[in-house]
Structure 1
Amino acid sequence: MDPLQAIRIGLDAARIGFEAQSVIAMRLAGIAGLWNVPENENLRMIQEKPLAVLEAGHAALNALLSGHSPDRALSASMARIGQHTQANMERLSQRGPGWF
Protein backbone atom coordinates (compact mmCIF):
# COMPACT_ATOMS: atom_id res chain seq x y z
CA MET A 1 0.00 0.00 0.00
CA ASP A 2 1.20 3.44 -0.92
CA PRO A 3 1.78 5.29 2.38
CA LEU A 4 0.01 8.37 1.08
CA GLN A 5 -3.02 6.40 -0.11
CA ALA A 6 -4.66 6.54 3.32
CA ILE A 7 -4.35 10.33 3.29
CA ARG A 8 -5.81 10.51 -0.23
CA ILE A 9 -8.72 8.30 0.79
CA GLY A 10 -9.35 10.48 3.85
CA LEU A 11 -9.26 13.68 1.83
CA ASP A 12 -11.59 12.19 -0.79
CA ALA A 13 -14.00 11.10 1.93
CA ALA A 14 -13.95 14.59 3.46
CA ARG A 15 -14.61 16.22 0.07
CA ILE A 16 -17.45 13.82 -0.71
CA GLY A 17 -18.92 14.41 2.74
CA PHE A 18 -18.77 18.19 2.31
CA GLU A 19 -20.36 18.02 -1.14
CA ALA A 20 -23.08 15.62 0.02
CA GLN A 21 -23.96 17.83 2.99
CA SER A 22 -24.04 20.89 0.76
CA VAL A 23 -26.39 19.14 -1.67
CA ILE A 24 -28.63 18.05 1.21
CA ALA A 25 -28.72 21.62 2.54
CA MET A 26 -29.63 23.05 -0.87
CA ARG A 27 -32.32 20.41 -1.41
CA LEU A 28 -33.82 21.03 2.03
CA ALA A 29 -33.74 24.76 1.35
CA GLY A 30 -35.47 24.02 -1.95
CA ILE A 31 -38.21 22.08 -0.18
CA ALA A 32 -38.67 25.09 2.13
CA GLY A 33 -38.81 27.42 -0.89
CA LEU A 34 -35.53 29.14 -0.04
CA TRP A 35 -33.43 27.69 -2.87
CA ASN A 36 -34.28 27.50 -6.55
CA VAL A 37 -34.43 23.77 -7.39
CA PRO A 38 -35.99 21.98 -10.37
CA GLU A 39 -39.51 20.61 -9.94
CA ASN A 40 -38.26 17.01 -10.17
CA GLU A 41 -35.51 17.42 -7.55
CA ASN A 42 -37.35 15.44 -4.85
CA LEU A 43 -37.75 12.49 -7.19
CA ARG A 44 -34.22 12.85 -8.52
CA MET A 45 -32.64 12.67 -5.07
CA ILE A 46 -34.28 9.28 -4.55
CA GLN A 47 -33.67 7.86 -8.02
CA GLU A 48 -29.97 8.73 -8.25
CA LYS A 49 -28.78 6.76 -5.23
CA PRO A 50 -29.17 3.17 -6.53
CA LEU A 51 -27.35 4.06 -9.75
CA ALA A 52 -24.51 5.76 -7.85
CA VAL A 53 -24.10 2.74 -5.57
CA LEU A 54 -24.08 0.34 -8.51
CA GLU A 55 -21.50 2.42 -10.36
CA ALA A 56 -19.30 2.62 -7.26
CA GLY A 57 -19.53 -1.14 -6.71
CA HIS A 58 -18.76 -1.78 -10.36
CA ALA A 59 -15.69 0.46 -10.19
CA ALA A 60 -14.44 -1.32 -7.07
CA LEU A 61 -15.05 -4.76 -8.56
CA ASN A 62 -13.27 -3.84 -11.79
CA ALA A 63 -10.29 -2.57 -9.80
CA LEU A 64 -10.12 -5.79 -7.77
CA LEU A 65 -10.52 -8.00 -10.84
CA SER A 66 -7.73 -6.05 -12.51
CA GLY A 67 -5.41 -7.01 -9.67
CA HIS A 68 -5.41 -3.72 -7.78
CA SER A 69 -5.17 -3.61 -4.01
CA PRO A 70 -8.22 -3.05 -1.80
CA ASP A 71 -7.23 0.55 -1.14
CA ARG A 72 -7.17 1.22 -4.88
CA ALA A 73 -10.58 -0.44 -5.21
CA LEU A 74 -11.90 1.84 -2.47
CA SER A 75 -10.44 4.86 -4.25
CA ALA A 76 -12.07 3.79 -7.51
CA SER A 77 -15.48 3.45 -5.87
CA MET A 78 -15.12 6.77 -4.06
CA ALA A 79 -14.19 8.45 -7.34
CA ARG A 80 -17.54 7.39 -8.83
CA ILE A 81 -19.48 8.59 -5.78
CA GLY A 82 -17.47 11.82 -5.85
CA GLN A 83 -18.44 12.44 -9.46
CA HIS A 84 -22.10 12.31 -8.48
CA THR A 85 -21.74 14.56 -5.43
CA GLN A 86 -19.65 17.07 -7.36
CA ALA A 87 -22.11 17.19 -10.25
CA ASN A 88 -25.06 17.69 -7.89
CA MET A 89 -23.28 20.41 -5.96
CA GLU A 90 -22.29 22.28 -9.11
CA ARG A 91 -25.77 21.94 -10.62
CA LEU A 92 -27.66 23.08 -7.52
CA SER A 93 -25.24 25.82 -6.46
CA GLN A 94 -25.64 27.53 -9.84
CA ARG A 95 -29.39 27.83 -9.30
CA GLY A 96 -29.12 30.13 -6.29
CA PRO A 97 -31.54 31.29 -3.63
CA GLY A 98 -35.24 31.03 -4.38
CA TRP A 99 -36.29 34.46 -3.20
CA PHE A 100 -34.93 36.36 -6.20
Structure 2
Amino acid sequence: MGKYASPLDLWRTGMEVSMLVAETQAVMTLRMMGMAGVWSVTPSENSRMVSEKLPAFAKSATAAGTAIMTGKRPDQVMSAAVKPLRSKTRANSRRLAKRGLKVK
Protein backbone atom coordinates (compact mmCIF):
# COMPACT_ATOMS: atom_id res chain seq x y z
CA MET A 1 0.00 0.00 0.00
CA GLY A 2 1.33 3.33 -1.00
CA LYS A 3 1.36 6.59 0.84
CA TYR A 4 -1.32 7.99 -1.45
CA ALA A 5 -4.59 6.56 -2.66
CA SER A 6 -4.74 5.52 -6.29
CA PRO A 7 -7.68 6.51 -8.48
CA LEU A 8 -8.93 2.93 -8.16
CA ASP A 9 -8.81 3.18 -4.35
CA LEU A 10 -10.86 6.37 -4.46
CA TRP A 11 -13.33 4.85 -6.91
CA ARG A 12 -13.73 1.76 -4.71
CA THR A 13 -14.40 3.89 -1.63
CA GLY A 14 -16.90 5.97 -3.57
CA MET A 15 -18.70 2.82 -4.70
CA GLU A 16 -18.86 1.51 -1.13
CA VAL A 17 -20.43 4.77 0.03
CA SER A 18 -22.81 4.75 -2.95
CA MET A 19 -23.93 1.21 -2.12
CA LEU A 20 -24.45 2.24 1.51
CA VAL A 21 -26.70 5.08 0.36
CA ALA A 22 -28.67 2.86 -2.04
CA GLU A 23 -29.16 0.07 0.51
CA THR A 24 -30.13 2.56 3.21
CA GLN A 25 -32.75 4.08 0.92
CA ALA A 26 -34.13 0.62 0.07
CA VAL A 27 -34.39 -0.32 3.75
CA MET A 28 -36.09 2.98 4.62
CA THR A 29 -38.56 2.55 1.77
CA LEU A 30 -39.43 -1.04 2.67
CA ARG A 31 -39.84 -0.17 6.35
CA MET A 32 -42.06 2.81 5.56
CA MET A 33 -44.15 0.58 3.29
CA GLY A 34 -44.36 -1.86 6.21
CA MET A 35 -45.57 0.91 8.52
CA ALA A 36 -48.18 1.83 5.93
CA GLY A 37 -49.39 -1.76 5.81
CA VAL A 38 -48.32 -2.35 2.22
CA TRP A 39 -45.19 -4.47 2.78
CA SER A 40 -45.02 -7.59 4.91
CA VAL A 41 -42.80 -6.94 7.95
CA THR A 42 -42.53 -8.60 11.33
CA PRO A 43 -44.14 -6.92 14.35
CA SER A 44 -40.67 -6.30 15.82
CA GLU A 45 -39.43 -4.34 12.79
CA ASN A 46 -40.01 -0.90 14.33
CA SER A 47 -38.06 -1.69 17.49
CA ARG A 48 -35.39 -3.44 15.44
CA MET A 49 -34.76 -0.36 13.31
CA VAL A 50 -34.05 1.66 16.45
CA SER A 51 -32.08 -0.92 18.44
CA GLU A 52 -29.65 -1.81 15.64
CA LYS A 53 -28.41 1.73 15.07
CA LEU A 54 -26.28 2.29 18.16
CA PRO A 55 -24.24 -0.93 17.87
CA ALA A 56 -23.72 -0.37 14.12
CA PHE A 57 -22.52 3.21 14.58
CA ALA A 58 -20.32 2.19 17.53
CA LYS A 59 -18.65 -0.49 15.36
CA SER A 60 -18.24 2.07 12.57
CA ALA A 61 -16.64 4.64 14.87
CA THR A 62 -14.37 2.02 16.41
CA ALA A 63 -13.23 0.78 13.00
CA ALA A 64 -12.56 4.33 11.79
CA GLY A 65 -10.71 5.20 14.99
CA THR A 66 -8.57 2.08 14.74
CA ALA A 67 -7.76 2.89 11.11
CA ILE A 68 -6.75 6.43 12.07
CA MET A 69 -4.61 5.25 14.99
CA THR A 70 -2.79 2.76 12.78
CA GLY A 71 -1.93 5.43 10.20
CA LYS A 72 -4.28 4.46 7.39
CA ARG A 73 -5.00 6.78 4.49
CA PRO A 74 -8.25 8.78 4.50
CA ASP A 75 -9.86 6.48 1.91
CA GLN A 76 -8.99 3.47 4.08
CA VAL A 77 -10.46 5.18 7.15
CA MET A 78 -13.68 5.82 5.23
CA SER A 79 -13.82 2.22 4.01
CA ALA A 80 -13.30 0.96 7.56
CA ALA A 81 -16.13 3.18 8.80
CA VAL A 82 -18.51 2.13 6.01
CA LYS A 83 -17.89 -1.62 6.28
CA PRO A 84 -19.92 -2.31 9.48
CA LEU A 85 -22.74 -0.05 8.29
CA ARG A 86 -22.89 -1.80 4.91
CA SER A 87 -23.04 -5.17 6.56
CA LYS A 88 -26.25 -4.07 8.33
CA THR A 89 -27.83 -2.28 5.36
CA ARG A 90 -27.05 -5.18 3.01
CA ALA A 91 -28.54 -7.73 5.40
CA ASN A 92 -31.61 -5.60 6.10
CA SER A 93 -32.30 -4.84 2.44
CA ARG A 94 -32.05 -8.51 1.47
CA ARG A 95 -34.18 -9.66 4.41
CA LEU A 96 -36.90 -7.07 3.85
CA ALA A 97 -36.98 -7.47 0.07
CA LYS A 98 -37.70 -11.20 0.44
CA ARG A 99 -40.84 -10.57 2.49
CA GLY A 100 -42.93 -9.13 -0.35
CA LEU A 101 -46.21 -7.27 -0.49
CA LYS A 102 -48.65 -7.73 2.33
CA VAL A 103 -51.55 -9.93 1.30
CA LYS A 104 -54.75 -9.62 3.31
Q: TM-score, normalised by structure 1?
A: 0.92
**Displacement of 1:75:** 0.5
**Displacement of 1:95:** 0.9
Secondary structure (helix, strand or coil) at the match of 2:7 reads coil
Aligned counterparts, 1:70-89, within 5 A: 70-89=74-93
Q: Is residue 50 of structure 2 the alignment partner of residue 46 of structure 1?
A: yes
List alignment gaps of at least 5 residues for structure 2.
none
CA distances 1:34-61 after superposition (whole Å, capped 9, x unpaired):
1110101111111111111101011111
List alignment gaps of at least 5 residues for structure 1.
none
* Residues matched between the structures, number: 100
Q: Which residue of 1 aligns with 2:72?
A: 68
> Of residues 27, 33, 37 in structure 2, which corresponds to 1:29?
33
Q: Which residue of 2 aligns with 1:59?
A: 63
Structure 1 counterpart of 2:37, one-letter code: G
Q: Which runs of 4+ in 1 moved over 6 A?
A: none
Secondary structure (helix, strand or coil) at the match of 1:16 reads helix
- Identity score, percent: 35
